[in-house]
Amino acid sequence: AEHQHVRYNPLRDDWVLVSAHRVKRPWQGQLEKPPQEDVPRWDPKNPLCPGATRANGEVNPKYEGTFVFPNDFPALQPDAPEPDDSDHPLFRAAPAQGVCKVMCFHPWSDLTLPLMSLPEVRAVIDAWTELATELGASYPWVQIFENKGAMMGCSNPHPHCQVWASSFLPNEARLEDRTQRQHLSQHGLPMLLEYAEQEAHRKERLVVENADWLVVVPYWATWPYQTLLLPRRHVCRLQDLSDSEKDSLASIMQRLLIKYDNLFEVSFPYSMGWHGAPTGAYLEEDCRHWQLHAHYYPPLLRSATVRKFMVGYEMLAQAQRDLTPEQAAERLRNLPEVHFKKRAE
């Protein structure tokens, strides 16, 4: 806890430098603006609101639950032409097709997942599962991700996420496929199933748990309050979850996100996303080495206005963190599970 050391991340096959003493240094750098608190519940100029007009001229329906629509500015398109053949191995390109969708969690702009009801969070999980199944029927990778807060690049104050399906396995997916396959071959157990069992026993990095799930600050965490959401049984994909596991997932997600908000009493920014076994043609292959999991990457370090920057050494050498995962987990674990905005109610 007091001296620097490096920790191995078996999921990414890399290392992180842990320098817990650095969190004591005075901070005179960038201070972030706290998140906007006066977000209107409905704004006709907000393109994600029910009944609002989007950039392409389409009018949203007056939806009352979740709402999915094609991204008006997609990074991937299904009919993109293939690049020309390369004339040199150092200048290679490959085809990339896909679809990009946006999913609104709720019709109200002033809500976030930790402030939604459990049935509303469960509806989000159901919509994720439907999209993973629908797009996964033909695409090998379906990336569900949420960027929450302007600090993480979210340009719109409305509860939503994105879903990108690609004709290729992205870098992180290929890396996790290799490391998990190697672990199963060498040890006879899926890596993250074994890891969840170890963390449930050790408890020093445990944040929240229930009968089906646990959330930990991973031993190899890079972001200050990074967490990993893991099922207790062997599950390859979102669409493999039972109804009861989806209910308990809604509960543990809400508990985690309430703790995040309570940490600095602010709508906590993060990027999160689901990783599971590839789909498309991979549905017919043996993917037992995969274990479903979700990554949460929040940038805040000391307060609502001081963030961790991944620059310099992190970009040119390797990831470095300023407090131990055990310290971060203990702080999150000890936070109340009643949202700070509801304590006076």
Residue 334 counted as an annotated binding residue: no
Please name which of 186, 165, 189 lies closest in space to residue 278, comparing C-alpha atoms: 165
Residue 320 counted as an annotated binding residue: yes
Please indicate whether residue 160 is annotated as part of the active site.
yes
Q: Which CATH superfamily is domain 35-79+94-172+182-342 in?
A: HIT-like (3.30.428.10)
Residue 314 counted as an annotated binding residue: yes
Residue 264 counted as an annotated binding residue: no
| Res. 182: pLDDT tops 90 | yes
pLDDT tens, position by position, 105-151: 999 999 999 999 999 999 999 999 999 999 999 999 999 999 998 77
| Res. 330: pLDDT tops 70 | yes
Looking at 96-135, which runs of residues are DSSP E strands? 98-104
Q: 248-251: list long-range contacts, CB under 8 Å, 24+ apart.
A: 248/210, 248/211, 248/212, 248/213, 249/125, 249/212, 249/213, 250/118, 250/121, 250/122, 250/124, 250/125, 251/118, 251/210
pLDDT tens, position by position, 209-242: 999 999 999 999 999 999 999 999 999 999 999 9
| Res. 12: pLDDT tops 90 | yes
pLDDT tens, position by position, 13-63: 999 999 986 655 554 555 566 667 788 999 999 999 999 999 999 999 999
Active-site entry in 88, 106, 158, 160: 160
Predicted pLDDT of residue 196: 98
Residue 71 counted as an annotated binding residue: yes
Residue 158 counted as an annotated binding residue: no
Predicted pLDDT of residue 320: 95
For residues 255 and 250, what is the distance between their CA atoms, to the nearest angstrom? 9
Average pLDDT of the chain is 93
Predicted pLDDT of residue 215: 98
Query: Residue 135, class by beta-carbon neighbours within 10 Å (0-12 exposed, 13-18 middle, 19+ buried)?
Result: buried
Residue 178 counted as an annotated binding residue: no
pLDDT tens, position by position, 307-326: 888 899 999 999 999 899 99
Q: For the chain, how many helices (H) and strands (E)?
A: 6, 14
Predicted pLDDT of residue 29: 58
Which amino acid is present at 25? R
pLDDT tens, position by position, 245-260: 999 999 999 999 999 9
Predicted pLDDT of residue 156: 83
- Dihedrals φ, ψ of 255, to 5°? -60, -45
